[in-house]
Amino acid sequence: MGAEISNCNNHRVSIKPGQSNRDSPVPVNKSSTKTQADGADEPQKIRRVFYPHLDSKPCNAKGKYLPEKSPPPARAHPAMNNWSPFRDRVEFETAELLYKRSQMPAGEINALLDLWAASLLQYNGHPPFADHRDLYMTIDSTTLGGTKWDLFELQYSGELPMSGETPEWMTKHYEVVFRDVRELAQEMLANPDYHTEMDSAPFREFDANGERQFEDFMSGDWSWQQADLIAQDPNTHGAMFVPWIMESDKTTVSVATGQNKYYPLYGSIRNSLKPGMSTPEVALCSDGHYQRVIYGLGPYIADYPEQALLACIVQGWCPKCTASADNLDDPRAGRRSRKHTEILVRELELGKLWDEYGLVGDLVIIKGTFKDHIVTWVEEYLVIEHGHQRANEILDDID
């Protein structure tokens, strides 16, 4: 699957709008428009070569391939006037305007709805929502797909320090909120909004001069090479390759929630889907046809600060190898691994870990947030509020 469209969960799929995903695995001509230097538009022929074995053949619900050009089975469509959980279109569009487009503060929402209610008193009418709480509760009750959220808790279960203060993370409970990625993948595949928005087979794209072009995810070498590995098993022939891309990005929620930190992990079809990673499974797709699909783990997306956080390294160092920050091309540097890091932590003290291996200790992480940010903000606030002399007295009392 390969284009650039995202759903409400920020899932992204690779595609070319209007491009059929039922093309045969032979070179196919496709027209596109290229702007010339003089401003004129001149059509340019684009040729796509699709992978010959994982060619996404439609099948029935039991996985038996269908004759060519067979129509998809009929599917039920929701009623056009179904705005649930909103009572009607006006409620829905009011919520969209206030919450999404204008992002109006709660107090202003209340003021607007009070004025709205006052204007309807003489008609015994009511505004779409009583107040901001009513609005938020209605939005929260919206059903987003059929894959339910689940939750479990984690806590460190190893040995605690024999002396000194026990780090908070060793005693704290952590919530993990998740959805089944296999069900999510099937739900995304079946979404009719993605019809004509998916490349269901790896391909190579060439311009009129025979130059290779790279644009969509499925036009890259990785997708083709993965298909080579999968197609070594004849049982996969005719299936659709569905790679799964993941991305993470630490998020700190507003002060109103106590500055809680969340670590969301985003997934996109291009997914552990282990049961369907070696043997194809049947899934309903966006065009209404069933397909035999085989999943794969694709790239993991993280910006550099996120990589440094996940690898527990000092900013400026490489998260993948042990090269120092001022000599990233050092040929003696080896790849980082959990086993290597655990040996270093066991044998070396924090200063040496920081200076020679770019590894961060728990104390440094806590100090970085607490001393460098929170304490600094408090000091600045006290000076603004009380002046330097009184601020210093308060800080002395705190110390």
Structure tokens at 316: 């400026």
> What pLDDT is recorded for position 135?
95
Q: Quick one: what percent of the chain has pLDDT higher than 70? A: 77
Q: Kindly state the average pLDDT of the residues 304-313.
A: 82
Count of other CB atoms within 10 angstroms of residue 309: 19
Given a cut of 80, whether residue 4 has pLDDT beyond it is no
Task: Please report which confidence band the pLDDT of residue 136 belongs to, taking 50, 70 and 90 as the band edges.
Answer: very high
Q: Kindly state the average pLDDT of the residues 352-374.
A: 58
> What pLDDT is recorded for position 14?
33
Residue 301, CA distances (Å) to 66, 306, 322 in order = 37, 9, 21
Task: Please report which confidence band the pLDDT of residue 194 belongs to, taking 50, 70 and 90 as the band edges.
Answer: confident
Q: Which residue's entry shows tokens 């909103």?
A: 86
Contact 134, 87 (CB under 8 A): no
Contacts of 1 by beta carbon, 8 Å cutoff, 6+ apart: 13, 14, 15, 198, 199, 200, 217, 218, 240, 241, 242, 243, 269, 270
Structure tokens at 114: 């009070």
Task: Please report which confidence band the pLDDT of residue 104 belongs to, taking 50, 70 and 90 as the band edges.
Answer: very high
Strand runs (DSSP E) across 106-195, as ranges?
Answer: 150-154, 174-178
> What pLDDT is recorded for position 44?
66
Which residue ranges make up each domain of the chain? 1-71+149-301, 85-142
Nearest to 361 by CA among 345, 374, 347: 345
